Amino acid sequence: MNWIEALILGIMQGLTEFLPVSSSGHLEIGQALLGTSGEENLSFAILVHTATVLSTLVIFRREVAQLFKGTFTTLQWNAEKDYVAKILVSMIPVFIVGMFFKDEVEAFFGNGLLLVGICLLVTAVLLALSEWLQKKRQGAGHEVGYKDAIIIGIAQACAVLPGLSRSGSTIATGLLCGVKKESVAQFSFLMVLIPILGEAFLDLLDILQGEASTNLELLPAIVGFIAAFVTGCFACRFMIEIVRRQRLVWFAVYCAIVGSVAIITTLC
């Protein structure tokens, strides 16, 4: 992978991490089109996912600071502790998948576009259904509860499949549960911080201990990281506004088109 390919893939990751079109699926498509080495794919994916997590921290820096302050500066149970507890609850499904099915999940990556195409079609259905029900439902919805958190967490765990959008699945699931659209986007973006940073840390330990290797060179890694971070900042703000205005159907159409093309290309 050269730095130009890393730049393209980094921009693609930064844009699609927050837009409900599947960053992992687009990385698979981009790597297939560019013909980048399969040995680099997982390392690069972890790197650029970490970059977009950091962009989340930048965009939600005030909210994160408030949660941190409310959680660790008092012993009393408060709204911040309650919110953090819901995030921790939402992490249970993805923790189970990561602990017991890590090898099986990694095997899905780099194995062609058929699965990506199918999962993109599933993403399209979720987005279209959630917007339809949101418009049909009367009332503004409710804040994220513990039941909502575990259901959204299950959606996040399922979204480890390439092509099944994490943001699209979690936001759509939250809307289907009746969560307020203003609340579901923020919860969706904050709930992924610890899992991705934790995964990146564990993979870094494996590399340092010699239990894993990477052929990713330094310059492409730096270029890809910066590209994903910068574009991620813009995409995060854009996606929050999209959810507020209920315009997910256009992303459903996009996912349906790209998914269909990926399937047809694979079968033909």
Rg of the chain (C-alpha set): 18
Which whole number is the average pLDDT over 63-76? 88
DSSP letters for 22-70: -HHHHHHHHHHHHT--HHHHHHHHHHHHHHHHHHHHHHTHHHHHHHHHH
Q: Is the pLDDT confidence value at 213 over 60?
A: no
Question: Of the segments 20-24, 200-204, 258-262, which one has the largest average pLDDT value?
Answer: 258-262
DSSP 3-state percent helix, strand, coil across the chain (nearest 5):
80, 0, 20
Per the CB < 8 A criterion, the answer to whether 1 and 218 are in contact is no
Residues 95-109 have pLDDT tens digits of: 888 777 766 666 665
Q: Which of 228, 221, 22 has its CA nearest to residue 113?
A: 22
Beta bridge partners of 179: 142
Task: Reduce the DSSP state of residue 99 to 3 states and report it.
Answer: helix
Residues 158-195 have pLDDT tens digits of: 888 877 888 888 989 998 898 987 788 889 888 888 77
pLDDT-derived band at 54 (thresholds 50, 70, 90) equals confident
**Phi, psi dihedrals of residue 212, rounded to the nearest 5°:** -145, 155
- Please state, rounded to an integer, the average pLDDT across all residues of the chain: 80
pLDDT at residue 106 in the model: 60
Q: Which of 111, 213, 196 has its CA nearest to residue 162?
A: 111
What is the distance of C-alpha 246 from the center of its chain?
A: 19
Lowest mean pLDDT, pick from 32-46, 64-78, 142-156, 216-230: 32-46
